[in-house]
Amino acid sequence: MPPLRRATDGLGAISLETVTKRYGEEAVVDGISLDIKSGEFFSLLGPSGSGKTTTLMMIAGFANVDGGRILVDGEDITMKSPQARGFGMVFQNYAIFPHLNVFENVAFPLRARGAAEADVKRRVGDALALVRLDRFADRFSRQLSGGQQQRVAIARAIVFEPRVVLMDEPLGALDKNLRYDMQVEIKEIQRQLGMTVVYVTHDQEEAMNMSDRIGVMNRGRIEQIAAPGDMYERPVNTFIGRFLGEANLVEGNLQQAAQAGSTLRIGDNVLLKAPAASPDLAGKTVHLFIRPERVAISTPGPGDAVAEANSVAGQVRRRSFLGNINRYVVAVASAEITVDVQNVGGPRFEIGDAVVLTWAVTDSLVLGS
């Protein structure tokens, strides 16, 4: 039984309609449109300068919108002040009020709304229990660790049961282990309370771990919106493929493009089987996308050629031991293909070894340049 009331009214859906932000001539956010569903955990992911924080600031009301509209549950809030929007907000550096203790920090949004004292006590107590800080109510921010300050910021953002909570790189200042724990915790709170979360981050693992859907931004535009698994498996372009985890993008010439399957030529004489590609790409330079963990590596030997798989010879050029995986970089014709092998006691290969790489055609994608 969650301590705070769970949102079940289906409110908190956000729509952006060709939202634009300009600084001088340059559009830092260039006409983006997206629909975030009620109760969804949506991440805006992108490198620095991609416009993701500016987009969040426009949703929050701290940055003016230069074009387009922002709607919440169908109501246009583009011109509303931040306080009138009623969103919960977690800031990059927590922004805990240093002159107020933990209790008063969490009570701040309630007191600002003129809540009754008994109500304040109950809700703050519930929110602090939810983030497991009940015993720290009298502390000040300087007496708290980074993770605890983060929890105060989260409790403060959810205490008034907002339908929407905005988070601006909230875990950026924490170390790696703590960051993972906090990801799990934030996700758990969001699931319990059912609010819509718009989460800005540049960390793709964080986005993949927490989000229902991710919108990847680059140079002020949204490149792709998809669930983490779909985006990881089926990126729409090389930028997404590269940005979300390790990826092989083997450059080659598309010899033939057909619905049944296409053929890619790398180097002078290596032909790779590839999945269906748009006929427009025929004869052009394209990238064959394949994740390193989808490629199998083995010693050359007599084997049955499988119709639906590629099997190419290569030579180990580099090897890295990453603990749970062995990573090989294998030279195949003019290309280098990275292969990740789970460290489960299989054969090891050394630099210079002749090997054969095998992968299913359906695990690969043809991406235009």
Using the rule CB under 8 A, is 116 a contact of other proteins? no
E-strand stretches of 142-301:
164-168, 196-201, 213-218, 221-226, 248-256, 262-266, 270-274, 285-290, 296-298
Least separation in angstroms between CB 61 and other proteins = 8
Q: Which stretch binds other proteins (CB under 8 A): 128-136, 155-163, 204-212, 333-341?
A: 155-163
Cα–Cα distance measured from residue 33 to residue 138, given in angstroms and rounded to the nearest whole number: 44
Torsion of CA 83, 89, 91, 95, to 10 degrees: 60
Residue 13's contacts (CB-CB under 8 Å, 6 or more residues apart) are: 35, 36, 37, 38, 72, 73, 74, 196
Using the rule CB under 8 A, is 129 a contact of other proteins? no
Using the rule CB under 8 A, is 145 a contact of other proteins? no
Taking CB under 8 A as the criterion, the residue among 5, 10, 97, 334 binding other proteins is 97
Using the rule CB under 8 A, is 42 a contact of other proteins? no
Residue at 120: amino acid letter:
V
Using the rule CB under 8 A, is 160 a contact of other proteins? yes
Taking CB under 8 A as the criterion, the residue among 83, 320, 342, 369 binding other proteins is 83
Taking CB under 8 A as the criterion, the residue among 99, 229, 269, 344 binding other proteins is 99
Using the rule CB under 8 A, is 79 a contact of other proteins? no
User: Which string of b and e fits 39-70 if b means at least 16 CB within 10 Å?
Assistant: bbbbbbbbeeebbbbbbbbbbbbebebeebeb
Using the rule CB under 8 A, is 157 a contact of other proteins? yes
Using the rule CB under 8 A, is 112 a contact of other proteins? yes
- Phi/psi at 341 (5° precision): -120, 125
Q: Which stretch binds other proteins (CB under 8 A): 19-27, 95-103, 120-128, 172-180?
A: 95-103
Closest C-alpha to 126, from 62, 193, 72, 211: 193
Residue at 334: amino acid letter:
S
Least separation in angstroms between CB 113 and other proteins = 6
Cα–Cα distance measured from residue 229 to residue 232, given in angstroms and rounded to the nearest whole number: 5
Least separation in angstroms between CB 347 and other proteins = 55
Least separation in angstroms between CB 156 and other proteins = 7
Taking CB under 8 A as the criterion, the residue among 142, 259, 322, 352 binding other proteins is 142
Cα–Cα distance measured from residue 306 to residue 302, given in angstroms and rounded to the nearest whole number: 12
Torsion of CA 242, 243, 244, 249, to 10 degrees: 0
Asked if 296 and 357 touch (Cβ cutoff 8 Å), the reply is yes
Using the rule CB under 8 A, is 108 a contact of other proteins? yes
- Phi/psi at 212 (5° precision): -75, -45
Q: Which stretch binds other proteins (CB under 8 A): 29-37, 83-91, 189-197, 349-357?
A: 83-91
Cα–Cα distance measured from residue 277 to residue 345, given in angstroms and rounded to the nearest whole number: 37
Using the rule CB under 8 A, is 132 a contact of other proteins? no
Helix H or strand E encompassing 27: strand 26-36
Is the Cβ of residue 100 or residue 178 nearer to other proteins in the bound state? 100
Taking CB under 8 A as the criterion, the residue among 13, 70, 77, 89 binding other proteins is 89
Using the rule CB under 8 A, is 146 a contact of other proteins? no
Using the rule CB under 8 A, is 103 a contact of other proteins? no
Q: Which stretch binds other proteins (CB under 8 A): 28-36, 97-105, 169-177, 358-366?
A: 97-105
Q: Which stretch binds other proteins (CB under 8 A): 16-24, 56-64, 117-125, 266-274?
A: 56-64
Cα–Cα distance measured from residue 7 to residue 161, given in angstroms and rounded to the nearest whole number: 8
Binding residues for other proteins (CB under 8 A): 60-62, 81-83, 86-89, 91-93, 95, 97-99, 108-109, 111-113, 142, 156-157, 160, 166
